[in-house]
Structure formats: structure tokens, C-alpha cells
Amino acid sequence: MMRQYELVERVKRYNPNADEALLNRAYVYAMKAHGSQKRASGDPYMSHPLEVAAILTELRLDDATIVAAVLHDTIEDTEATREEIDTLFGHEIGALVEGLTKIKKLDLVSKKAAQAENLRKLLLAIADDVRVLLVKLADRLHNMRTLHYVPVEKRTRIAEETLDIYAPLAGRMGMQEMREELEDLAFRHFSPEAHAMISARLDEISERSGPVIEEIEKELATKLAQYGMKADVKGRRKRAYSIWKKMERKSVSFEQLSDIFGFRVIVPDVAACYAVLGIVHTTWPSVPGRFKDYISTPKQNDYRSLHTTIIGPGRQRVELQIRTQDQDRINEYGIAAHALYKDNRASDKSALARESRAYEWLRRTVETLAEGDSPEEFLEHTKLELFHDQVFCFTPKGRLIALPRGATPIDFAYAVHTDVGNTAVGCKVNGRIVPLLSELHNGDEVEISRAPGQVPPAAWESIVVTGKARAAIRRATRAAVRKQYAGLGRQIVERAFERGKKAYSDEKLKAALPRLARTSLDDVLAAVGRGEIFSGDVVKAVYPDYKDEKVTGVEANRTEGGWFGLKKAEGLVFKVPGAAPRTAPSIPIRGLNGDLPVRFAPNGGAVPGDRIVGILTPGEGITIYPIQSPALTAFDDQPDRWLDVRWDIDEAVPQRFPAQLSLTVINEPGTLAQIAQIIGDNDGNIDSISVTGRGAADFREITIDVEVWNLKHLNGIMNQLKQRPVVSSVRRVNG
């Protein structure tokens, strides 16, 4: 276990002005607080917070963060209190320790909703002071280093959680070294057989390739020195997890990998980076498509470097990363490498925001908490943000937009602004019109075409790859559906007040919201539209003395030809030839693409020209039935669900409607072809066909779902079918 003086020495190596008394006081306080507590390994518990502090000294963090690491388990696991820590160490350190304690109490579990809620709280804690995250990551790293002491049944869960959340979060903060170690340690326990196999192969190759690596390092350094370039060339072996992920992603074997070793060229400044690139590319052939410039277009986690692959010394394929010393430090230590911490300016949050793009990402992610997504959706959104490689695209005005690999113009539109995504109807990529579903590539210039009032199709949700786009499409789809139901509900409510001879106004209904257990006018109207509240109950809420005179029976006789007399349902009168006029206006039905949530009877449908009735189905909107449909008998005792509806067809915008035909036909070759030919020649559209036997082998029963313009069109097709010798009978199915 680290001694008190060793901790102080570690801090003073990079910060000679460290508060030695503060560090000593924290060490003694934590030692007394943890007392005789033991870890699973049998070591004194105090060894854990000291190792966490040691990890943070490698990141050269400020005194307050080191002290918070030493104390991070005291409130959770000992008798220590926040007030006591504030008194002894100050409010800043007390807030850090309490933030870590709250996270400690919320350790992630495998259940998705619980994991999501815990991640939400973790991000909220670190958004206020990112040093909470740095201590938490160091805490997780030491726990992973000692995971072999934990019971076997817990190891896989902890390793999976590390791969899902902590390692990507470290990467998103630019802390590549920590991310790689967390991934490799988790991989060791998550898939021990694969880890052992890849590690053994890597050791074998390292032993065999050692002289080659040294030769490449030497030749690269010599060549650069000839041009007067001062450069430090280092070869490094990739980690087992990185190799495994590449094998999985590219579906290749270990033997097919050619970039197991990478080389870093560290130079004094940015100009030297590009000079080295020129020397390398003019000395050895480069591999096409393997050059990336992350200096001119940094990654969102502040990563800056030039990447290229060459056919180098000895015809070896060599992957090079060219960067400055400052870039190398930031690439390895990320947000922890910023001068903010070295200079002890932890309270200057604006300085951190200016220096770190990674912190800006964290802020944006936390802003999504205000969008009201469910915990599961938030987890999905955040994971989409954590796991991705990037492509860089541009707006026509030159604004750079970073997107995940595989992103589409839809993702691009939402990255520009949510309103741009919601109203997108088309796009141009590099001046050419392309589908919105096209995959974008590095350097693409994307121009989005918009249409006011456009609502994004729900199907887009399964196409986009960014969490922001997916969440925005969900919200827009919900809002559109809610608007439909609210519009339907308003029509139903206004007609209910009209037939009850009561005055309606939004103000009167708002005053009655408490009696309807709803918080807004739209909530009530949408609930009526979905069938969750009946219109009569809304009238009663506004006018408590109102009595709804509903007729609960069927005051009509139905035959194959239609209805005779009147049927009263929810106070409405359906007009048929020879009957009395309507007492209230009916709801116009325009079809599946209209403004209302409408669907047609599942068996048989309905077409313009049919006399129709609407049945309000809770959660589904209106189902339209032909008035002669026998299925309507199932709703005879539910008059509240009946709606008076009428066709409202725009002849300038023709639309097909569903109908179902049942045919008895002769079982001989070509019969089905003749039937399909007749329907096609008469401009009908076949949606589906099913064929069944009919007892005798000479006949078959065919059921056809067909789409037609109107009743006249349907009757014409039926008459044509009846004239064919192979057709014994044709009838329309009315579900």
C-alpha cells in the first residue's frame, strides 16, 4: 500500500506548489475512517482510494481532485459526513466527494431501464464538474485491475458494463490510454477464451517481429533526420480487444490483419507534421484510402493527428500516426490534459468549455435530458453518441458537421437543426440530387431541401444512426399522431355540445379539466379522439346537470341491401334514403392519407359510394365499415363508439381504397392468370391473394384484396369477372 509521503511526492513531481498539508490531512482522515475494512482481495480497504489517487497523479490532476480520490468512499462506506468533509477540506472537495457518493449508490445493473437511469444521473453529476468523471473512471480502472478477486458470477456483468459505458465514455472524453486499458481488462473477463487466444498470437508475433519493428523505427528516424526533421519514432503493438473488434467488424481472420503494429512520429509543431507526411509519402508508396487528417478536422473528443499507411521498409505495411507533443498528450489523456487542471483553475468552467470539444459534447448530451425521453430512449441515444467513428461533411456555407460513420442526409439535417430535419424532403450531395437514405462520406457537401409543415415519416427512425435524429423523429411522430387525435377529438366534442344544445368554448372546457383528470385542453381532446374519454362525459364535466339521451338499442333493420329507418348512436342520426335529415354535421373521411387517424374494416374495407359508419376504437382512431357490414352487430350495445361519417374525396387527388372479393372458380391451369389479367386491365390493384380448396377437386375458393377508386369501379371489375367461364361466382366480402 502506498505510503503517505509517496502520495505527496507523486503530486509534487508535476506540481511543486501542491498543498502538502492538505494531502497529508486527507490521507490521515481516510486511513482513520476506513480503519480495519478489507477488500475482496484481503488487502486493507485504504489501498483502493490510494491507487485511485495514484492513477490520477499520472494524469497530473489538481490537489482537489487527488484529495477527492482519497476520500471518495468515506461518505458511502464509513461514518464520515458531507458536513464534516466541508469543514475539514472545504466546500469544493466536499461537493466532489458527495457527487461520487451519489454515483456509487447507483451502480449500474443489467436491467436496461435501471442502467439508463443511472447513466442519466452520472452524466448530470459530471456535467456540473467533469472532475467527478475523472475520479469515477480511475475508480473503475482500479476495480477492473483487481476484478479477478470478485466472485465469478459478478465479473461478466461488471465487464459488460465497463465495455458499454465507462470505456466509451473515457474515449469520448479523449482519454484513449484509459479507454484501451478498460476495454482490454473487460475483454479479459467478458470473453476469456478469445482474449487468451489473441494475446498468445500477439506475443508470438511480437517475439518474431521484434527485429523488424526496430528496423522500421530506425529507418524512419534516419530518413527524417536526413531532411533535418527532429522526430521521435515509436512502435507500439495494438491491444487484444482492438484486434478482436477489427476481426469482428471486418469479418477477417487474425492472419489477414496487416496493421497489428502502429508507429507514432512525434514532432515539435504542426508544420512539422505535414513536412513529415510529405517526406514519408515521397519515400515510400502510400496505401490508397488510408490517409486521414484529424489535425485540420479534429474528432469531437479533441483527437488531433495525421494517419497514413505506407508500404515501408522491407515491403512491410506500416501504419503511421504523425502528431505534435501537445497533440500526443491530449490524445492520450484527453480532457485531463488541459491546462485548466495543471494551473489549478478548476472553478473556471468557461475556460474548460473553450479548450475542450469533448466537454461541449457532454453538455449537449445532458441537454437531451430536458427532452423528456424515457430512460430507455436516453440510454439508446447516449450509446449511439458514445460508439462511432466519424465522417466530416459540410453545409453549402462551409459549416463542418461531424457525423457517425454510416450516417445519412437525414442525420445531417438533424445535426444542423431539429427543424431542418423535421421539414426535410430531399437533398443534394456534392451538387447531385440523391435519396435521403444515401450514406454520406468524408468531405461531402450536403444541401437539404425543406417543405414547411412536413412531418418526418415514422420509418425514418429505423434508418438514421444518430441518437439526436432518432429521438427527434420519435417526438415529431408522437406529436403528429397526438395532433390527429386531438383534431378528431375536437370534432367529436363540438358535435356533442351541439346536439346537447350546450354552448362550447375552450375556456369552459379548460375550467373543467380537474373533473376530467387531465392537465391540458389537448390532453382531453386527444383522449376523446383515442376513445379513452367519451364525449358525453366531457359535456357533463362542463355542465354537471347535462343528461345524455342515448339510445342503447338498434332502431333499424339491416338487410343485404342496407338500413331502413334511423339509427341513433351517440345522439347522431344516420341519414338513409327516405329518412329524416341529420341533426349534426358528419365527420369527413378522406382515406388513409387524410388528417384523421383512420383505418378501414380489416375484412372487406370500404370504398367511396358505400354508405359508411365509423367505429371509434380506443388507441386506434376510427375504423370505417360499410353500413351493411355484419361486423357492426358487435357494436350494437356500445352506442358511444358510433360516429356519423361521410366521404370527402378530392377528385383532383385520386386515391385507391380497399375492398375484398371472394370468387369460386374452376380448378384448371390459367384460371388465376385470367383473373389477374381482368383486374389489371380494369385498373385495379391486387394487394394479396389466397387460394383454398372447396371440398370438390374441381373448384377453388379465391380471396382477393383489391384496391379500387370507388364503388362504380369495383362493380365494373366484378361484372367483368362474372363473364369469364372459369368463374362460377363473385361476391364482395363485407367484414
| Segments of the chain with pLDDT less than 50 | 106-111, 339-355, 369-370, 372, 387, 550-584
Q: Name residue 390's amino acid.
A: Q
In 632-726, which ranges are E strands? 642-643, 645-647, 657-666, 685-694, 696-708
Q: Return the number of other C-beta atoms located less than 10 Å from residue 389's C-beta.
A: 9
Cβ–Cβ under 8 Å, residues 53 and 7:
yes
Task: Record the pTM.
Answer: 0.55
Number of residues that this document lists for the chain: 735
Residue 419 annotated in active site: no
Considering only CA atoms, give the Rg of the chain.
35
Does 197-337 match 4-193 at the fold level? no
Alpha-carbon separation of residue 219 from 234, 284, 286, 315, 368 (angstroms)? 12, 12, 16, 13, 51
The sign one gets for the Cα dihedral 407, 408, 412, 413 is negative
Element (H, E) at 526: helix 521-530
Assign a CATH topology to domain 358-465: Ubiquitin-like (UB roll) (3.10.20)
Q: What is the dotted CATH code of the domain comprising 4-193?
A: 1.10.3210.10
Catalytic residue, chosen from 77, 86, 293, 537, is 77
CB atoms within 10 A of CB 63: 19
197-337 has CATH 3.30.460.10 classification: yes
Domain locations in the chain as residue ranges = 4-193, 197-337, 358-465, 476-542, 556-647, 657-733
Q: Where in 107-251 does DSSP place strands (E)?
A: 232-237
Long-range contacts of 109-116 (CB under 8 A, 24+ apart): 109/157, 110/157, 110/160, 110/161, 112/376, 112/379, 113/375, 113/376, 115/161, 115/164, 115/165, 115/379, 116/374, 116/375, 116/376, 116/378, 116/379
Is 77 noted as a catalytic residue in this protein? yes
Evaluated on CA atoms 659, 664, 669, 671, the torsion sign reads negative
DSSP result, 441-494: -TT-BEEEEE-TT----GGGGGT--SHHHHHHHHHHHHHHHHHHHHHHHHHHHH
In this predicted model, what pLDDT tens digit does every residue of 289-318 receive, in sequence order?
888 899 988 887 778 999 998 887 767 778
Question: Do the Cβ atoms of 359 and 130 come closer than 8 Å?
Answer: yes
Q: Grid cell 498528450 — which residue?
A: 329
Supply the pLDDT for residue 554: 36
Cα(519)–Cα(522) distance, integer angstroms: 9
How many C-beta neighbours within 10 Å does residue 116 have? 22
Task: Give pLDDT, residue 107.
Answer: 43
Q: Cα separation of 19 and 564, whole Å?
A: 96
Q: How high is the pLDDT of residue 578?
A: 30
Only one residue has cell 349534426, namely 584
Which of 143, 154, 133 minimizes the C-alpha distance to 65? 133
Using CA atoms of 549, 550, 554, 555 in order, give the dihedral in degrees to the nearest 10: 20
Catalytic residue among 76, 217, 360, 461: 76
| pLDDT at res. 553 | 35
pLDDT for res 213:
79
Is the domain spanning 657-733 CATH 3.30.70.260? The answer is yes
DSSP string for residues in 18-29: --HHHHHHHHHH
What is the model's pLDDT at position 636?
A: 79
Instruction: Enter the DSSP assignment of 555.
Output: -
Report the alpha-carbon distance of residue 233 to residue 261 in Å, rounded.
13
d(CA 119, CA 137): 13
> Could you tell me the CA-to-CA distances from 651 to 168, 568, 595, 613, 618 in Å, in that order?
56, 31, 17, 22, 31
